[in-house]
Structure 1
Amino acid sequence: MSRANQPSRPLLAFALGSLGLLAGMVMIAEGGHWLSPNPPSIAPVEDTGDPNPTSPAPTHNRRPGQPARKIAENLIAPPPLDPSGIERTEPRPPLGELGLATAPKTPMPRDWRETLLFGPVATSSAVFEAMGRRVAISGTVNIDPDRTCTFDGTAWPCGQRARAAFNAWLRGRALKCLLPPDADRFAIAVPCALGKQDVGAWLVSNGWAMAAPTGVYGKAEAVARNARMGIFGPPQ
């Protein structure tokens, strides 16, 4: 191209500058509105008072007793329940009657006192010695240590086993018995307790002693016999 046909440099520079200025001022038309190529910064959304915000509250700020926040309440919901279809049933009866026996209600003389007997040692299934006294548990029939029981044709020393079971349960713990003032002079049958447990009830209900005919442990003995516990069961 000849120098005469080439545009002059000032004209070319002016044209390029005009194109750059026009490109910077171009506006984009969208949806009938003119938008700037550089969108303005988004202002923070003001609180609209929505009672159910979408952002969950931090769990570490939850105070004890504050109700739990429901998750996906509109997606997961409990099945509808018709109250008319609910039927109230009677409470389940006790599994057994072993704990129904209570301490004898026989009135005792006023001068009898509850006395702690430390270090008791069973000499038979319902008799023990402690602090120089020999005490039998009232309302029970003692099993002599020499007694032998038979179960399904097999004999076994149930008397010795009953005494051992009584000692294992006592473990030398103090018994609280209702004693007369002169109880150290002779053997006596009185009610005793280990903590809040009636000793006679425990012995009879576990089959390690029998109930006296006029005592309060007859029902407990019947349960022990039916359950084949203690002397009424297999060799132990």
Structure 2
Amino acid sequence: MGEVRSTGRLAATLGSLGLVAGALLIAGSRHWLPPDLPSPPAQDAGEDRPALHAPIHDARPGQPARRIAENLIAPPPVDASGIERIEPRPPLGELGLASPLKTPMPQDWPGTLLYRPVASSSSIFEAMGRRVMISGTVDIDPDRTCAFGDAVWPCGQRARAAFNAWMRGRALKCLLPPDADRFAIAAPCMLGKQDVGAWLVANGWAIASPSGIYGKAESVARGAKMGIFGPPQ
């Protein structure tokens, strides 16, 4: 029984010592330094206390950093002639040596035969899913009327009918770009050996474009009162 009481007193004593040691450790943790570092000098109460974890190296503003192994990691010096240039590395495969594709020009376009053309105006027709305007011409709208003396007549409808009658049962050969299927295009066309634009303008069924090549043909049609420049037909 006495042994039990002695053991209890010993445990209580050790517990009290542990609490005291913990309190001392917490109270002194703010000023504890590792044993291998010297204690900071005593300071007056009015002075600012330096940070405990301040860097130990001397970082002076404006001073360059110390160079380490400059002969190993620094770039070679550049002389007055400038940076040395070397030849470019060859491509890894033949694909890098391929030249860009050549864009075909109008004179390189192959002639395309368009069968069963149908005129939608005096110089515009549709054939095989394409819509083509004869280049160098200005078409006459089908709703246009013309006056000759006292007579007024539907020259636009007559011009479209004349174009249809001339093309009936034939095929026009036109210089079309490779992607002409996607949009309407102005192109020169031939009917056999006859220039379609020259025939239309010379007969007065189309007007020559100011930037085209049929200006002289229009002058001849006006002088001869052909097509829209003449009497009702």
Q: Shorter-chain TM-score category?
A: 0.5 to 0.7
Cα pair 2:144 2:154 within 8 Å, conserved: yes
* 1:180 aligned residue (177, 182, 196): 177
Match of 1:151 in 2: 148
Match of 2:214 in 1: 217
**Structure 2 counterpart of 1:193, which letter?**
M
Relative to structure 1, the CA distance from residue 108 to residue 138 in structure 2 (aligned partners, 3 Å threshold; closer, same or farther) is farther
Match of 2:157 in 1: 160
Deviations 1:121-166 (A, max 9, x none): 1111000000000000000010000000000021100000000000
Unaligned runs of 5+ in 2: 1-103
Between the two structures, name the one with larger relative contact order (CA 8 Å, sep ≥ 6).
1
**Structure 2 counterpart of 1:121, which letter?**
V
Is 1:136 aligned with 2:127?
Answer: no
- Give 1:113 shift: 1.9
Q: Aligned partners of 1:110, 1:225: CA distance in 2, in Å?
A: 32
Q: Aligned partners of 2:150, 2:201: CA distance in 1, in Å?
A: 24
Q: Aligned partners of 1:120, 1:172: CA distance in 2, in Å?
A: 8
Deviations 1:23-48 (A, max 9, x none): xxxxxxxxxxxxxxxxxxxxxxxxxx
* 1:171 aligned residue (145, 168, 173): 168
Deviations 1:169-225 (A, max 9, x none): 001310000000110110000000000000000000000000000111000000000
Relative to structure 1, the CA distance from residue 212 to residue 183 in structure 2 (aligned partners, 3 Å threshold; closer, same or farther) is same
Relative to structure 1, the CA distance from residue 140 to residue 108 in structure 2 (aligned partners, 3 Å threshold; closer, same or farther) is farther
Cα pair 2:122 2:159 within 8 Å, conserved: yes
Q: Aligned partners of 1:232, 1:108: CA distance in 2, in Å?
A: 37
Match of 1:102 in 2: none
Flag the structure with higher helix content: 2
**Residue pairs, 1:89-104, within 5 angstroms:** none
Cα pair 2:106 2:175 within 8 Å, conserved: no
Number of aligned positions between the proteins: 130
Q: Aligned partners of 2:200, 2:107: CA distance in 1, in Å?
A: 27
Unaligned runs of 5+ in 1: 1-106
Cα pair 1:111 1:180 within 8 Å, conserved: no
- Give 1:110 shift: 5.6
